[in-house]
């Protein structure tokens, strides 16, 4: 499905990010597993199907680090190659009641989840346009149901994820002819199905969103919530 496609997955060293990396590799994509913990990223590659994959250490809160990540594409695959699949799954939590939250804890969560998503999306879009990838590409950003309903003790996380929703819809409007983009809601909450969601279940949905079969979807939000909003 993704032969001759290059993918970047941030937060690929664990959890849903790792599951996405493994699934993309199974579908013959070349995957850049990006994570702040490069050892975890390398462990992800060890678990993946054979292919030209690479582990990259990246701090998505820092623009220079993200630029270096994209430069690794040229070093690994050649100057004419470009990332056409991007999955922004990197994120952190720094929980605490709003009234007691430290400014640095608020800022750090927004830097990773919101600004990091913006930086990677911006560079990916610019690269596709500059290198005239007329067949476009696909970007999947992770948000959370808490962006809609709030969650006590997570004012920073909720603000960041609500920002990601607005960012994604706006980018989709601006780039609609170049980069179809989607919002993915990966939830780990008890639901009407009576169980936790599995990373592999989210990964399967992401595979669809990244494929040509989803070409008529852009700026949409897919809730993988086990029926929470029935």
Just list the catalytic residues. 157
Residues making up the chain, counted from first to last: 230
Tokens 């030209």, residue located? 52
d(C-alpha 41, C-alpha 13), whole Å: 4
The helix or strand, by DSSP H or E, that contains position 22, with its residue range, turns out to be helix 15-26
Take residue 167 and report the two structure tokens written for it. 């960012």
CA dist 204 and 144 (Å) reads 18
SS3 track for 48-79? CCCCCCEEEECCCCCHHHHHHHHHHHHHHHCC
Q: Which residues pair with 85 in a beta bridge?
A: 7, 138
Q: How far apart are CA 47 and CA 28, in angstroms?
A: 14
List beta partners, residue 33: 9, 55
């Amino acid at each position: 499905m993704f032969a001759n496609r290059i993918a970047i997955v941030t937060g690929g060293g664990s959890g849903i990010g790792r599951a996405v990396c493994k699934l993309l590799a199974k579908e013959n994509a070349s995957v850049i597993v990006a994570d702040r913990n490069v050892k975890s990223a390398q462990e992800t590659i060890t678990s993946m199907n054979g292919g030209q994959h690479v582990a990259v250490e990246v701090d998505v809160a820092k623009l220079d680090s993200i630029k270096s990540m994209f430069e690794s594409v040229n070093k690994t695959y050649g100057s004419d190659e470009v990332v056409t699949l991007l999955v922004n799954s990197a994120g952190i939590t720094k929980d605490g009641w709003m009234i007691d939250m430290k400014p640095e804890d608020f800022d750090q969560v927004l830097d990773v989840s919101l600004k990091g998503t913006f930086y990677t999306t911006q560079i990916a879009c610019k690269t596709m346009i500059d290198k005239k990838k007329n067949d476009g590409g696909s970007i999947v950003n992770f948000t959370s149901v808490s962006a809609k309903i709030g969650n006590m003790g997570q004012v920073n996380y909720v603000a960041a994820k609500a920002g990601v929703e607005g960012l994604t819809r706006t980018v989709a409007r601006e780039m609609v002819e170049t980069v179809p983009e989607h919002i993915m809601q990966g939830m780990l909450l008890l639901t009407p199905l009576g169980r936790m969601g599995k990373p592999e279940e989210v990964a399967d949905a992401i595979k669809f969103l990244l494929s040509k079969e989803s070409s008529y979807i852009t700026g949409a939000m897919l809730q993988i919530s086990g029926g929470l909003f029935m």
